[in-house]
Chain A
Amino acid sequence: MAVLINVPAKAKRGDIIEIRALTSHIMETGFRHTMDGALVPRDIITSFTCRYNGAEIFRADLFPAIAANPYLSFFTVAKESGKFEFEWMGDNGYSSTASASITVE
Chain B
Amino acid sequence: MPTTRRQFLSLAGSVTVIPIVTPRPVEATPAMLNTAIRNVVGEAPIRAGKVKLDIPPLVENGNTVPMTVSVSSPMTADDYVKSIHVFNEKNPQPNIGNFYLNPSSGRAEISTRIRLADTQKVVAIARLSDDSFWQVTADIVVTLAACTEEVN
Please state if A32 and B149 are interface contacts (CB–CB under 8 Å): yes
Please state if B109 and A74 are interface contacts (CB–CB under 8 Å): yes
Residues of B close to A71: CB separation below 8 A: 111-113
B115 at the interface (CB under 8 A from A): yes
A62 at the interface (CB under 8 A from B): yes
Kindly supply a per-residue 1/0 record for chain B positions 58-73, scoring 1 wherever the CB is within 8 Å of any chain A CB and 0 otherwise.
0000011100100000
Interface hits, A90-104 → B, CB 8 Å: none
- Which chain A residue has the least Cβ–Cβ distance from B64? A67
Residues of A close to B151: CB separation below 8 A: 32-35, 40
B135 at the interface (CB under 8 A from A): no
Please state if A72 and B63 are interface contacts (CB–CB under 8 Å): no
Residues of B close to A77: CB separation below 8 A: 104-106
Interface residues on B, range: 35 or more
Please state if B107 and A73 are interface contacts (CB–CB under 8 Å): no
Q: How many residues of A contact B (CB 8 A)?
A: 33
- Which chain A residue has the least Cβ–Cβ distance from B91? A65
Smallest beta-carbon distance B94→chain A, Å: 9
Q: How far is the CA of A72 from the CA of B110 in the complex (A)?
A: 7
Q: How far is the CA of A47 from the CA of B151 in the complex (A)?
A: 25
Residues of B close to A75: CB separation below 8 A: 105-107, 109
Kindly supply a per-residue 1/0 record for chain B positions 132-152, scoring 1 wherever the CB is within 8 Å of any chain A CB and 0 otherwise.
000000000000001111111
Smallest beta-carbon distance A65→chain B, Å: 4
Residues of A close to B64: CB separation below 8 A: 67-68
Please state if A29 and B109 are interface contacts (CB–CB under 8 Å): no
Kindly supply a per-residue 1/0 record for chain B positions 77-98, scoring 1 wherever the CB is within 8 Å of any chain A CB and 0 otherwise.
0000000000010011101111
